[in-house]
Structure 1
Amino acid sequence: MTPAQKLIALLVLIVLLMGGSAAGAWKVQGWRYGQQLAEQSRLHADDLSAISSGAAAQVRADQDKRLALEQRLSVSDQTHHKELSDAQTNQARLRDRLATSDLRLSVLLDATDPASGCSVSTGTEAVGVVHGGARAPLDPAHAQRIVAITDAGDQGLIALKACQAYIREIVAPASL
Structure 2
Amino acid sequence: MTPGQILCAILLALAIGFGGAWQVQDWRMGEKLAEQGGQFEKELAAISNAAASQVQAEQGKRLALEQQLVGQDQQHSKELSYAQRNQARLRDQLATADVRLSVLIEDSASSCNVPTTTGAVGVVHAARRAQLDPAHAQRIIAITDEGDNGLIALRACQDYVRAINHSH
Give TM class, smaller chain.
Answer: 0.7 to 0.9
| Equivalent residue letter for 1:31 | W
TM-score (normalizing by structure 2)? 0.88
Specify the SS of the correspondent of 2:74. Answer: helix
Shift of 1:83: 0.2
2:129 to 101, 123, 135: 135
Specify the SS of the correspondent of 2:50. Answer: helix
Shift of 1:109: 1.2
For 2:122, the equivalent position in structure 1 comes to none
Q: Does 1:62 align with 2:58?
A: yes
Q: Does 1:9 align with 2:2?
A: no
Equivalence map 1:59-98=2 (5 Å):
59-98=55-94
Shift of 1:12: 1.2
Shift of 1:159: 0.3
For 1:166, the equivalent position in structure 2 comes to 160
Once residues 92 and 112 of structure 1 are traced to their aligned partners in structure 2, the CA distance between those partners, rounded to angstroms, is 37
Q: Does 1:46 align with 2:42?
A: yes
For 1:18, the equivalent position in structure 2 comes to 14
Kindly tell me the number of residue pairs found equivalent between the two proteins.
Answer: 154
Once residues 62 and 172 of structure 1 are traced to their aligned partners in structure 2, the CA distance between those partners, rounded to angstroms, is 14
Q: Alignment RMSD, CA only? A: 1.4
User: Identity over the aligned pairs, expressed in percent?
Assistant: 56
Specify the SS of the correspondent of 2:97. Answer: coil
Once residues 145 and 28 of structure 1 are traced to their aligned partners in structure 2, the CA distance between those partners, rounded to angstroms, is 99
2:96 to 96, 100, 106: 100
Q: Which runs of 4+ in 1 moved over 3 A?
A: none
Shift of 1:110: 1.8
TM-score (normalizing by structure 1)? 0.84
Shift of 1:15: 0.9
Shift of 1:92: 0.5
Deviations 1:44-96 (A, max 9, x none): 11111111111110111011001000000000000000000000000011101
2:24 to 11, 22, 28: 28
| Equivalent residue letter for 2:63 | L
| Equivalent residue letter for 1:163 | C
Deviations 1:99-157 (A, max 9, x none): 111110011112228xxxxxxx9xxxxxxxxx611211100000001000000000000
Structure 1 unaligned runs (5+)?
Answer: 114-120, 122-130
1:37 to 27, 33, 36: 33
| Equivalent residue letter for 1:173 | S
Structure 2 unaligned runs (5+)?
Answer: 110-114, 116-124
